Amino acid sequence: MSPAFRTIALIGKYKSPEIAESLMSLAEFLRSRGVDVLVEEGTADLVGADGFPVVSYASIGERADLAIVLGGDGSMLTAARKLAESDVPLVGVNQGRLGFMTDLARDDMLDGMTDLLEGKFKGEQRFLLDASVRRGDAVLFQTQALNDVVVNKGDLGRMIEFAVSIDGEFIYNQRSDGLIIATPTGSTAYALSANGPILHPSVPGIALVPLCPHALSNRPITVSDDSRIEIVLHAPHRARVHADGQEKFELEAGDRVSVARSGRSIRFLHPLGYSYFAMLREKLHWSETPRSY
C-alpha cells in the first residue's frame, strides 16, 4: 500500500545535537516505507543528513507533503511560521519538556509514524496573527505569530503605559509590565502563566492578558477573532514587541502596534486517539491526587 505522504521533511530542534539518533532513526524508517525524506538545512548542519537531501524551508514548502518536527513547542512555532504560506501540515515529536503542540512521545514515534503513513490521523487548523508596527506613516515591522504577540517593558525595570483600542474603539489606558495578545494555541503558553484563560482551539477568539497591571481591575478579556487590536505606547516610555518569543522590535513612544487574525493558518495532524482535554489533563496534572507533606 502506498504511504499517505510521498515526501516528508524532517526538522530538528534548534542547537540540539541530541536529536541526531531519533532523527536518523525516523529518516531510515520512512525511507523503508517508500517515503522520500528531506532534511531541513539548519538541522542537517547540526546533526548531519546521512545522504538524505538537504533543503531550505522554502524548498520544504514547495516539495513536502508533510513536515515532522522533532523538538518542543518552540521548534513547532518556528516551523509553523516559516511554512505558513505553503499549507504543509505539521506533526510534532516531543523532544522537549512540556510540549502542548508535540503529540508524539519519542518512545512512541515509530508506532505513530506507522499510523500516519496509513492515513490514521485527524487534522486541525490553527490560525495565526498578523502584527505590524507603525511609526508615523511608515510601517517599520511586520511579522506573524502562532502563539502570541507581546508588548512588554523590554530591558527596563519600570512599568510602561499604553492605550488599547479594538476595531477603532478606545478600550482603556493601562499601566503594567505589558500585554499578551494570544491565539487559542498560545493560550497555554505565556498567557497561561500570566493567569489568562485557556481557549479551546475551536474557539474563534483572541485573549488579551495584562502583565502585572498596576490596577487590579485590569483583567484578561477574550475578544472575537475578527477584532483588530491596536496598542499605542505613551510618552516617555519605550518598550518591545515580541512575536512567539522569536522575533522582536524596539518600540518608541507614539508607535502603534496593530494585531489581527491572519488570513493564513497552520494544519496540525494528530493521532486518531488525540484529545485536547486529555492533553491538558496530562500536561497540567489535572485530577492528580494532592500530595501530603
Q: Annotated active-site positions, please? A: 73
Interior angle at CA 109, CA 104 and CA 115, nearest 5: 90
β partners of residue 121: 271
User: Backbone phi, then psi, for 269, in 5-degree steps?
Assistant: -110, 130
φ/ψ region of 131 (left if φ > 0, alpha if ψ in -120 to 50, else beta) reads beta
Q: Cα separation of 31 and 29, whole Å?
A: 5
SS3 (DSSP) at 172:
strand
Beta-carbon count within 10 A of 254 CB: 13
Could you give the dihedral angle defined by the CA atoms of residues 277, 116, 128 and 285, in that order, rounded to the nearest 10 degrees? 20
Q: Cα separation of 189 and 201, whole Å?
A: 13
Q: Cα separation of 86 and 107, whole Å?
A: 30
Q: Where are the alpha helices (DSSP H) in the chain?
A: 20-32, 41-47, 57-63, 73-83, 109-117, 190-193, 276-284
The conformation of residue 26, written as its DSSP 8-state character, comes to H
β partners of residue 86: none
Buried b (16+ CB within 10 A) or exposed e, 43-59: bbebbebeebebbebee
Contact assessment for residue 144 and residue 232, using Cβ atoms and an 8 Å cutoff: no
